Structure 1
């Protein structure tokens, strides 16, 4: 039993390393050849972990071979546009200037119901509002509404909003993030003072404290401090 556990852990580590080397993209964003590699890696790892009679290297070596092949294809597609079209394919325009392309739907085995579903998922319930809909190589659809149907932005009204940087999570689950506190150019005395204003005496009582670029501090206490559960202070 101990041998099975050790073999499984080794294969698990190998698979994790292989997937990390492939990048950080989610499953829905993978190219077809990358998805095939992941499926094959899972199958190859399962055989030696279930059967102790199969040498461990019989699972590790094929995984490394697949990883090498995947990295090679990724490098080739990065350097050559023609190779990228062959390996990854080309995006398909399903709706072009407000017109549905039946040819592209048929070529991609896409029906109208699938198209309408994807439009709804993109918050476009009315197909008449769509100027372009492009089926990307990863299977997702990019939707571009018609100009008169797009969401308004400040630039449309000549408004230039102030810069908004990333908020800094200073406290998470009762633990102080000192590097973020230093990055915010605040000190511990300031933080404790702000928490005391919200009747929170200890950092350990804070579920999360986040400081945005405008200097606004959002604080939520843990359940033990339910009476002061949510606060925003400046």
Structure 2
């Protein structure tokens, strides 16, 4: 199904997962049923799933039929009651989702879109968005992606090399922070600019 489906199951994918689990449990519980009897329908379902995944990628119309379309439930600060009723979304559920994303006033919401995976995407008016460094014309430096260098006392040398550092550099960083060795460190992260986050291991 791909990595995306691990956290975003469509209704058809959820049903498929339940069916596969049910098919797998029957031959595992009944020793009189050959294991192949359960494997064959599971493989058939997986093949169907792969075919449907390819079709949804290539054909937009088929994707809309199988997965549905996003619904705009708030437009220009006004509730679309027909869309809410069609998706069986109550006012309490909508307000709860808005509060979870930090919005308590509907008038500041330009659009609220109920996605096909059930999540609510909220787009506020432009004047309600926090200013960015670009808006304020401030030059900022990119820190890059932090990498874990020490995890629970274990040195991850491949991450250290990927950052362009070596063991002497690491030892200097530990000495500067009063650490004698990696075994004293619970977590150490370093970004591409050399900024270090360090958490000591608590005494057991």
Q: TM-score range by the shorter chain?
A: over 0.9
Correspondence list, 1:13-28, <5 A: 22-25=1-4, 28=7
Distance 1:23 1:193 in 2: 43
Deviations, residues 83-127 of structure 1 (Å, cap 9, x unaligned)? 111111111111112211111011111111111111112221222
Q: What's the C-alpha RMSD, in Å, of the aligned pairs?
A: 1.6
The answer to whether the Cα contact below 8 Å between 1:28 and 1:139 also exists between their aligned partners in 2 is no
Q: For this pair of structures, how many residues does the alignment match?
A: 204
Alignment of 1:93 with 2:72, yes or no, is yes
Secondary structure at 2:83 match in 1: helix
Tell me the SS of whatever aligns to 2:134.
helix
Match of 1:209, SS state, is strand
Aligned to 1:128: 107
SS at match of 1:25: helix
- Could you tell me how far apart the structure 2 residues matched to 1:198 and 1:150 are? 39
If each structure's helix is expressed as a fraction of its own residues, which one has the higher value? 1
Distance 1:28 1:215, change over 3 A: closer
1:215 to 2:188 alignment: no
Deviates more, 1:104-113 or 1:213-222: 213-222
TM-score, normalization by structure 1: 0.82
Select 1:114's aligned residue among 81, 86, 93.
93
Structure 1, unaligned runs of 5 or more: 1-21, 227-234
Query: How does 1:53-68 map onto structure 2 within 5 Å?
Result: 53-68=32-47
Structure 1 residue runs of 4 or more that deviate by more than 3 Å after TM superposition:
none
Give TM-score scaled by structure 2 length: 0.93
Task: Spell out the pairing of 1:1-234 with structure 2 (5 A cutoff).
Answer: 22-25=1-4, 28-224=7-203
Deviation at 1:65, TM superposition (A): 1.4
Give the secondary-structure state (helix, strand or coil) at the position aligned to 2:143. Answer: coil
